[in-house]
């Protein structure tokens, strides 16, 4: 007798969109939120509004409606902020339909100095609210060389263009996977702009990466829909007098001046009186060794430092890039695995070196997280230099470090991503 099939479960009907989605509202914009959106309220509910500025009154369309908050896109500016300007990227202008606005320059409609003030406010709010840390009154977001002169354009040395089904390339629209055709890339360096294939159709491409290293010619690398790409190409980046080799598609700071800026900031942040070149110094999430080299260049060839990175190709390059220091080594490992049990497994001599260590921490945008922080503080390093590309993630980690007795002794912020909402923080923390 054949087996009886179980009865089919009735399929649930697709959830209907919230009735508020698509509604147009007049909103008074009162503040800035993390993530490049502004804050308004409608009948007591928080509404996060894109393409607005605090102090403005706008007409906006609701795009998402949750129980605790809504999201909306600005359709028309009814009362403009004095800090509003023509968008630096015509294809991202508020005059276009929101679904057709290029993403990646969400602050481009705001005067550059006021962008930095809004980023400062986001960082201060995150640190105050989440880590109970009050930055100093003179805490500001610092400009990088040349950005004021170019109004925050011409800085990107890496650009990824997406390809649509018909082969058109361009950026995604904000908060979507719709490819937007564009005629220019104002945030890109001149070298990138010269090779950008904006009018070219790519029949089988999924993306086109444009890379302009500081040494050598700019490259265009096409990845096809099946995921295949040309063989990896090594490139050279220069920071001061030092060269760094890496894969053309490997991670490197995007702003043309970011690597040099962060190198100097890390060197400045480390307290020389607390630094021991023989200690178990660490560079976590080390990439190709940029920040480990910054430490080595400041404290000499005998500096002992271990760079830890999960991407094996980057670790191979880091070993080459750090070969000047006899005590430097590069390890391929996930950071959370590397630090797990580090304090327990150490000999008495090594525990002493851990306690004398300087740790450079440069995690991804999500932050280091509790598992890494908990294990790291068990080694009791003398000082931690934390490089953060997300103020909220940093504030979460700073709260964990604070609970373990590590307080912020210095804090700087850098505008590594002009005309976007992103901001870079760099802090030194030591035990209280």
Q: Give the burial class of 270: count Cβ atoms within 10 A of its Cβ; 0-12 exposed, 13-18 middle, 19 or more buried.
A: buried
Residue from 249, 248, 207 nearest 225 by CA:
207
DSSP 143: P
- The first and second tokens of residue 250, run together, are 């490997």
Instruction: State yes or no: is 41 an active-site residue.
Output: no
Of 239, 262, 265, 389, catalytic: 389
Cα–Cα distance, 243 to 321 (Å, whole number): 8
* Beta-carbon contacts of residue 287 (< 8 Å; ≥ 6 apart): 250, 251, 252, 307, 309, 311, 314, 318, 362
3-state secondary structure of 258: helix
Binding-site residues, please?
253, 285, 309, 362
* Beta-carbon contacts of residue 265 (< 8 Å; ≥ 6 apart): 412, 414, 426
Cα–Cα distance, 37 to 48 (Å, whole number): 6
Binding-site residues for S-adenosyl-L-methionine, please?
253, 285, 309, 362
For 345-366, the DSSP string reads H--HHHHHHHHT-EEEE---TT
Catalytic residues: 389
């Amino acid at each position: 007798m054949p087996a009886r099939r179980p009865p089919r479960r009735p399929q649930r009907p697709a959830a209907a969109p919230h009735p508020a989605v698509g509604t147009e509202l007049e909103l008074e914009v009162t503040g800035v939120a993390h993530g490049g959106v502004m804050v308004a309220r409608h009948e007591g509910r928080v509404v996060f509004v894109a393409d607005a500025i605090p102090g403005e009154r706008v007409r906006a369309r609701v795009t998402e409606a949750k129980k605790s908050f809504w999201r909306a896109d600005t359709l028309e500016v009814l009362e403009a902020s004095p800090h509003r300007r023509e968008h630096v990227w015509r294809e991202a202008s508020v005059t276009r339909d929101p679904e057709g606005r290029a993403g990646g320059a969400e602050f481009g409609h705001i005067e550059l100095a006021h962008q930095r003030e809004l980023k400062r406010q986001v960082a201060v709010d995150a640190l105050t609210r989440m880590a109970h840390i009050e930055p100093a009154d003179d805490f500001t977001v610092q400009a990088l060389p040349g950005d004021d002169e170019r109004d925050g354009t011409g800085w990107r040395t890496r650009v990824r263009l997406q390809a649509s089904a018909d082969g058109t390339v361009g950026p995604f629209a904000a908060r979507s996977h719709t490819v937007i055709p564009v005629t220019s890339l104002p945030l890109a360096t001149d070298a990138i702009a010269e090779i950008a294939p904006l009018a070219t159709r790519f029949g089988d491409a999924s993306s086109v990466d444009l890379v302009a290293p500081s040494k050598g010619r700019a490259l265009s690398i096409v990845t096809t829909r099946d995921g295949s790409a040309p063989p990896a190409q090594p490139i050279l980046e220069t920071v001061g007098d030092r060269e760094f080799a890496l894969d053309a598609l490997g991670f490197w700071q995007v702003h043309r001046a970011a690597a040099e800026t962060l190198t100097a900031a890390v060197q400045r942040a480390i307290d020389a009186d607390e630094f021991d070149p023989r200690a178990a110094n660490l560079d976590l999430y080390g990439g190709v060794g940029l920040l480990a080299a910054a430490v080595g260049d400041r404290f000499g060839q005998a500096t002992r430092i271990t760079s830890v990175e999960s991407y094996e190709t980057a670790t191979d390059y880091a070993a080459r890039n750090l070969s000047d220091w006899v005590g430097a080594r590069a390890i391929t490992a996930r950071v959370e695995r590397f630090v797990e049990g580090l304090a327990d497994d150490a000999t008495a001599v090594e525990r002493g070196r851990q306690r004398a260590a300087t740790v450079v921490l440069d995690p991804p945008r999500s932050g280091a997280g509790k598992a890494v922080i908990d294990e790291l503080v068990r080694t009791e390093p003398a000082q931690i230099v934390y490089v953060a590309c997300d103020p909220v993630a940093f504030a979460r980690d700073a709260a964990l470090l604070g609970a373990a007795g590590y307080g912020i002794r210095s804090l700087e912020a850098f505008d590594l991503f002009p005309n976007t909402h992103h901001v870079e923080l760099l802090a030194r923390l030591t035990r209280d």
